[in-house]
Structure 1
């Protein structure tokens, strides 16, 4: 499932919209499919984050350690990779968009590009600590009530990315909670979750939760996708360097085929982050700054029980 989520995300940034990616017309097949999958991409990523959390949940006697770990895992790469991306975007000819140099520091407060996901997820983990401390996620009815409340607050997520992505946290929260419920409780409560999602007045919630639950139930084991999924966090952080780089190079050499640019851009968006992960995973300080790894030993070769804790 993480491999599928990675492919959907990378393909999205290859195709882009009116002002990014390949800049295809709105009526093209690529744009139509890309736009339709908007209700699945980030909901699936966030659903998986909730599911992974439920596999090894917070222990209330180690709250400080839990939050410290999430801050190092999410916020250090948010600063380091986010600033690197914004600076490179300003310097490289052919970039689709760029910010004025003087506003770059502000991206640490109002996140740039896809990096809004990282502080938003950290805010969700902070909220999860509060919910767990009151036992609101420990029983099915309580968890479903919290999910229903998150569906109500979902309506406030629209507009520009807010300070530290607070409004995007409202967007992600229902899907994170859905992942917890689907893993923590039996199928009867998952059915109740789906019913609440279908009754929610937002198509994003209906489609995102149902699609994620369906993939959880129906997706077979596919080894190549599983291998990609191991690097899902690094792919999220660095895929745009591969997709944008491939597009710029292909355009410079005169290749204009949409299919070729899509396939090579997607391949680059997957391959470059994997190569970076393997190069940096055992390099002190850099592995923490750019991969969010805990130590030199915390590499892609770590035990599966450790790998699965990564968001």
Structure 2
């Protein structure tokens, strides 16, 4: 059995995760973005669910996959160089194209000022905030593994607590906008607990996933589901500090259950194999699909949703297949 077949359940989750990201972008994180749908609407309710799990799932998968082939002693420099090529080069290319096309195309949301284009390489910019954050997470895990702090279960548990403490610091002290979010470091702090959780679920699955812990994890996951209903009917809850600090615990419980299951799907595995290029370039499809149908006079939310989602998936897939034929294009689009 190949390594891919052994990890088909993770590749399936990766496909589901990127599909959630695409759908969330099509709908829009706010009523001013995407399909421009205001509250209350079933679409906004769907986005509430998507926003709950999409990026934590992506991050936990990144941690799980990293644990398959962690950084080796003496290769830290090479490891970070490869991550810079893999994450930062494609991000700079895709973000630049997205900024410029959005700037010159009528009907796009949230146009930027051309003089401020330099900011997209320094500060969080739309969906591309995640890539520098992930780079910083890899830098952190490189230091942790170089010192063998997570080689044993107890050390991993301590690192998870420390990562969660970093999330608490970010939410309490750094989310007021007074400190510049250089290189999306706040995103890294907010997501790092999920990365560490993913590493641990891979390395210490026998200790983490037992009959007793499965009951506890399922209970916490159910609490998370119920909390979403509370957030939907009482939106002010989402701004409550205690709610914001306990929510990651429910999310991590859900992630532990998801990463330890064995379900696999050929369709989602196929989508997952293109997850990175889809993440980078799905914005062109979501915006383009919506604009095309709007100009054709199509106002059906279902049609716009389906068309924009399809465009957001297949445009990047076609782009990668074209780019793979040329070394330079492949490097610029995928960093390999």
TM-score under structure 2 length normalisation: 0.82
CA distance in 2 between partners of 1:219 and 1:249 (Å)? 40
Is contact 1:109–1:164 with CA below 8 Å preserved after alignment? yes
| Aligned equivalent of 1:102 | 115
1:278 correspondence with 2:324: no
Question: How far, CA to CA, are the matches of 2:247 and 2:331 in structure 1?
Answer: 34
Shift of 1:282: 2.4
Q: Secondary structure at the match of 1:60?
A: coil
> Who is 1:261 aligned against?
304
- 3-state SS in 2 of match to 1:285: helix
Question: In 2, distance between residues paired with 1:82 and 1:190?
Answer: 39
Output the CA distance in 2 between the equivalents of 1:15 and 1:291: 26
The answer to which of 95-104 and 184-193 deviates more is: 184-193
| Alpha-carbon offset, residue 35 of structure 1 | 1.6
The residue number in structure 1 matching 2:158 is 145
SS in 1 for 2:327: coil
- State the shift of 1:219 in Å: 5.2
Report how far residue 130 of structure 1 moved: 1.0
Q: Structure 1 residue 217: deviation in Å?
A: 2.8
Across the aligned residues of Structure 1 and Structure 2, the Cα RMSD in angstroms comes to 2.1
Among residues 170, 173, 176, which one is paired with 2:189 in the alignment?
Answer: 170
**Cα distance in 1, alignment partners of residues 251 and 326 from structure 2:** 37
Give CA deviations for 1:84-132 in whole Å, capped at 9, x if unaligned.
Answer: 1111111111101111011001211013101011110111111111111
TM-aligned CA deviation for residue 265 of structure 1: 1.2
Q: CA deviation at 1:263?
A: 1.1
1:210: how far off? 2.2
Aligned pairs for 1:47-86 within 5 A: 47-86=60-99
> 4+ residue stretches of structure 1 with deviation over 4 A?
190-195, 197-201
The reply on whether 1:186 has 2:199 as its aligned counterpart is: no
**Aligned position for 2:287:** 244
Give 5+ residue unaligned stretches, structure 1: 294-311
* CA 245–176 in structure 1, closer or farther in 2 if over 3 Å, else same: same
Q: CA deviation at 1:215?
A: 2.0
Superposed displacement of residue 206, structure 1: 2.4
Tell me, yes or no, if the aligned pair for 2:71 and 2:146 is still in contact at 8 Å: no
CA contact (8 A) 2:72 2:146 kept: no
- Is 1:215 paired with 2:285? no
- CA distance in 2 between counterparts of 1:12 and 1:219 reads 25
Quote the offset at 1:216 in angstroms. Answer: 2.1
Spell out, residue by residue over 1:168-192, the C-alpha distance to the aligned partner (whole angstroms, 9 max, x if none).
0001101100100000113323467
Partner of 1:5: 17
| Contact 1:40–1:207 (Cα < 8 Å) also in 2 | no
Q: Deviations over 1:186-240 (max 9, x none)?
A: 3323467976x95997244123222222222335211011000001100110011
Asked if structure 2 preserves the Cα contact closer than 8 Å seen for 1:281 and 1:291, the reply is no
| Secondary structure, counterpart of 1:40 in structure 2 | helix
Shift in Å at residue 159 of structure 1?
5.2
Partner of 2:138: 125
Instruction: Return 5+ residue gaps in structure 2 as ranges.
Output: 1-12, 224-241
> How many pairs align?
292
Give the aligned partner of residue 46 of structure 1.
59
Q: What is the TM-score normalised by the length of structure 1?
A: 0.89
